[in-house]
Structures are given as C-alpha cells and as structure tokens.
Amino acid sequence: MSTPTQKSGSPLLAIDGGMLVATLLTLAGYLLPWFRKGSGYAWSFSGWAYASLSDGGGWTLLTFGWLLVAGGAALLARGSTAAAMTGVVAAMGTLVTSLAVVAASFAVVGEQTALNPVAQLPFGVGLPVMATGLGLLLATSCRAIVRGEARDPAGAGRPN
C-alpha cells in the first residue's frame, strides 16, 4: 500500500519571526506614550490616546490597519516573496500614517516660549520604540524578499 506524497511547496503559514517581532515592536511603540504637552500634564500623546477617543479615533486608526497588513505579511513571508513585498508596503504605510499622527500631535502642542519647544517636552518611550520597530520591519521585509528570490532564482517556479 502506498502512502500519499506531499507536494514540496511552501507551507501555508511560513512565519518570518523577525517581521512579526518588528510589527509587534512597532505596535507597542505606537501605543506607548510619545510625549506630554508639559510636565504638569498627566495625559500623553500616543496611538492609544487617539484610538480610545470617544469618536473612535478617525483617520488615526489607519496605522492599525497597516500594522494588521504587516502582521499578515509576516505570517506568510518565509514562503512567499509577494507577502514579503507586502511587508515593505505595510512598513511604508505605517511610517507615513504614524508620522502624520505624530506631526498632528506636535501641532496641537502650540507655541512655546523656548527657542526649541520640542526639546522642552517630556518624552516617553513610544517614539524610539516605534522608530526601532519600523526600521526592523523594513529591514526584515527586505531580507525576506531577498531570501525568497534566492530560493527561487530567475522565477523558475513562476508561471509565464
């Protein structure tokens, strides 16, 4: 009696651990406090502060959508170059939308009396953590693309 043979293709879930960790690190940085309006303020600007607004956060929630795409891409990136490329797109989308949210937050702070008002703000850990996560997400997504192309040089397994 013969046993069924398995196709030697990529498994359905081929998780890229680096991309997944980078996505989670970016999410943590987005949710953690970025900065406060002043030392007397208990409330901090952060993605969590926007997401928990009573009106739902509006356009600021696009960052969560990009991070969801990045997480999905990370689940497939070791077996699919297209998923790895999606990770790069999601990293750039996250970068642009999170940058817009942070810039809008700085605009809300208003005019300060110091020459360098940004230097006077009490900062949290969110921005450095988010920057680290975004850098890693872009780097690991590019690595996954290279790995996929090295595994299938010149498109040997691709349909014409």
Q: What is the pLDDT of residue 24?
A: 98
- Structural domain includes residue 50: no
Q: Is residue 4 part of a domain?
A: no
Residue 3 lies in a domain: no
Residuewise pLDDT in 10s, the chain (160 residues): 554 444 455 567 889 999 999 999 999 999 999 988 877 877 789 999 998 887 878 889 999 999 999 999 999 999 999 999 999 999 999 999 999 999 988 888 777 666 677 777 888 999 999 999 999 999 999 999 999 888 876 655 555 4
Domain count, the chain: 1
User: Is the CB of residue 71 less than 8 Å from the CB of residue 20?
Assistant: yes
Helices (H), 41-151: 47-51, 62-76, 81-109, 117-120, 126-151
Residue 87 lies in a domain: yes
- Nearest 5°: phi and psi at 123? -95, 150
pLDDT at 160: 42
The reply to whether 146 falls in a domain is yes
Asked if residue 51 is part of any domain, the answer here is: no
Integer-rounded Cα Rg, in Å, for the chain is: 20
Compute the distance between CA of residue 14 and CA of residue 139 in angstroms, rounded to an integer: 18
For residue 63, the model assigns a pLDDT of: 96
Q: What is the pLDDT of residue 5?
A: 43
Task: For residue 93, tell me if it sits in a domain.
Answer: yes
**Full residue range of the structural domain in which residue 21 is found:** 15-34+60-110+131-151
- Is residue 73 situated within a structural domain? yes
Query: If you ran DSSP here, which 8-state letter would residue 123 be given?
Result: B
* Residue with token string 């943590």: 28
Residue 56: per-residue pLDDT: 77
